[in-house]
Structure 1
Amino acid sequence: MTNPTQNTLNKVPEVTLLFWIIKIAATTLGETAGDAVSMSMHLGYLLGTAIFAAIFLAAVVAQIRARTFHPMLYWTTIIATTTVGTTLADFADRSLGIGYAGGSTLLLALLLGAFFIWHRSLGTVSVNDLRSPKAEMFYWVTIMFSQTLGTALGDWTAGSMGLGYTGAALVFGTLLAMVVVAYYCTRVSRTMLFWTAFILTRPLGAVVGDFLDKPLSAGGLALSRYSASAALFAFIVVSLLVFRQRPATRRH
């Protein structure tokens, strides 16, 4: 017989190479789609944030209410977090005038606070131990903060630090490679390494997304935000249809 705990555990995917490939594609899509709505459609960062926040909340509710793992639903929720993260970070950085450094600092504090409260409440922040709606709620709030932080970090590194999109992508790609080395060569907490990699994939996706759609004069490829978003979305859907994702299981 299958108990409710097992159902809850099976609602997030197993962390594999496919997971990380789709995650990077989803974060890149979040950047291009977020910019398409707020900038190309001229809706602004505040309205764009409101639209994507509503989608995010609806997706989270559906994800928590689901009884089993549904890859399309899970990744829809991930994409929702990264799009709202894009517009929210841009709103804080540009509309409120906090700046990239201030926005990144504030979001890092919120992210660390989310981790602290999650761990204090449930004793773990492992993605393989999501046994209740409360744990899932912590999971999605933490992800939303990490996606927003990643956007601010990507813009800060590429813009304020003067590294450009390719230079910033190299920085975050190198940091991710170091996490991979630590995974295979050290005994550092797997949970810590997962969240480190999860956070770093967002600024990587942010700078890659900007590289695709920003003007040539700004160091980008000047691709249409709509076509770039459509191509990334198609890639994610095809990947989910062709490659089977298994649900995560609790590690004893």
Structure 2
Amino acid sequence: MAADVVHVVVGSPYMVSAVGFTLALAGVLALWYASERTLSIHSIRSTRREVFYWATVLTTFALGTAGGDLTAGPLHLGYLPSGFFFAALIALPVLCRRFLGLNAVAAFWAAYILTRPLGASFADWMGVPTARDGLGWGTGTVSLALLVPIAALVGYLQMSRADTPAPTPTV
């Protein structure tokens, strides 16, 4: 919502807010790295690292909304093509990790950041009216349609522990 407030209330163009949130994200990551010498989510074991993590997450949400709205609107891709654009982009960190040796932490954060405009683009496409090239479901229906499978998956993982790594054997 931060990106929407900056655009709607303040009147900032999407390009300005996208650049601003990109710089804010770079600043958060730079401070995190300067302070902790790592950006690995596997090392979040202190309050300070958790604060950096959540600052990064919140900034990526704002950046994702601004980026998705920028490509859909002013860059004239539309919501659905923007979703496909970000779906293609999200493959880049994977390919760079596999074929160019991109650091695992950098690959994770690049992919994570791209999930935001990817999700925003598809959610906007489902929610906006058909007159704006959307499906016209409305934000409430889209939220509910996404809440149900997310809640089911979280419940499944909580009960099955399928996402819990096996204990490391001690020597």
Question: Is TM (by shorter chain) over 0.5?
Answer: yes
Which of 127, 130, 133 does residue 219 from structure 1 map onto?
A: 133
Distance 1:131 1:227 in 2: 37
Q: What RMSD over aligned residues (CA atoms) do the two structures have, in Å?
A: 1.6
Q: Secondary structure at the match of 2:64?
A: helix
Q: Do residues 205 (structure 1) and 123 (structure 2) align?
A: no
Which of 148, 157, 164 does residue 246 from structure 1 map onto?
A: 164
Q: Do residues 233 (structure 1) and 147 (structure 2) align?
A: yes
Q: Secondary structure at the match of 1:93?
A: helix
Counterpart of 1:125, as a letter, is L
Which of 36, 51, 60 does residue 122 from structure 1 map onto?
A: 36
Distance 2:84 2:16 in 1: 23
Give the structure 2 partner of residue 20 of structure 1: none
Q: Give the TM-score normalised by the residue count of structure 2.
A: 0.90
Distance 2:122 2:164 in 1: 28
Q: Secondary structure at the match of 1:96?
A: coil
Counterpart of 1:180, as a letter, is V
Question: How far off is 1:213 after superposition?
Answer: 0.8
Question: How far off is 1:225 after superposition?
Answer: 1.9
Instruction: Give the aligned length.
Output: 163
Matches within 5 A, 1:47-62: none
Q: Which runs of 5+ in 2 are unaligned?
A: none
Matches within 5 A, 1:135-214: 135-214=49-128
Counterpart of 1:173, as a letter, is A
Structure possessing the higher relative contact order (Cα contacts under 8 Å, 6 or more residues apart): 1
Q: For each residue in 1:173-201, what CA deviation from the matched residue of structure 2 results, as whole angstroms up to 9, or x when unmatched?
A: 11112222223223111111111001101
Distance 1:154 1:96 in 2: 18
Give the structure 2 partner of residue 112 of structure 1: 26
Question: How far off is 1:215 after superposition?
Answer: 0.6
Distance 1:246 1:149 in 2: 30
Distance 2:125 2:50 in 1: 33
Q: Secondary structure at the match of 2:136?
A: coil
Instruction: Please say if residues 69 and 121 of structure 2, whose CA atoms lie closer than 8 Å, have aligned partners that are also in contact.
Output: yes
Q: Secondary structure at the match of 2:16?
A: helix
Distance 2:92 2:29 in 1: 22
Distance 1:165 1:227 in 2: 17
Give the structure 2 partner of residue 95 of structure 1: 9
Distance 2:140 2:30 in 1: 38
Instruction: Please say if residues 28 and 52 of structure 2, whose CA atoms lie closer than 8 Å, have aligned partners that are also in contact.
Output: yes
Instruction: Please say if residues 28 and 55 of structure 2, whose CA atoms lie closer than 8 Å, have aligned partners that are also in contact.
Output: yes
Distance 1:112 1:228 in 2: 31
Question: How far off is 1:132 after superposition?
Answer: 0.7
Distance 2:156 2:45 in 1: 29
Distance 1:121 1:200 in 2: 25
Query: Which aligned runs of 4 or more in structure 1 are off by greater than 3 angstroms?
Result: none
Q: Indicate the larger mover: 183-192 or 109-118.
A: 183-192
Q: For each residue in 1:54-89, what CA deviation from the matched residue of structure 2 results, as whole angstroms up to 9, or x when unmatched?
A: xxxxxxxxxxxxxxxxxxxxxxxxxxxxxxxxx111
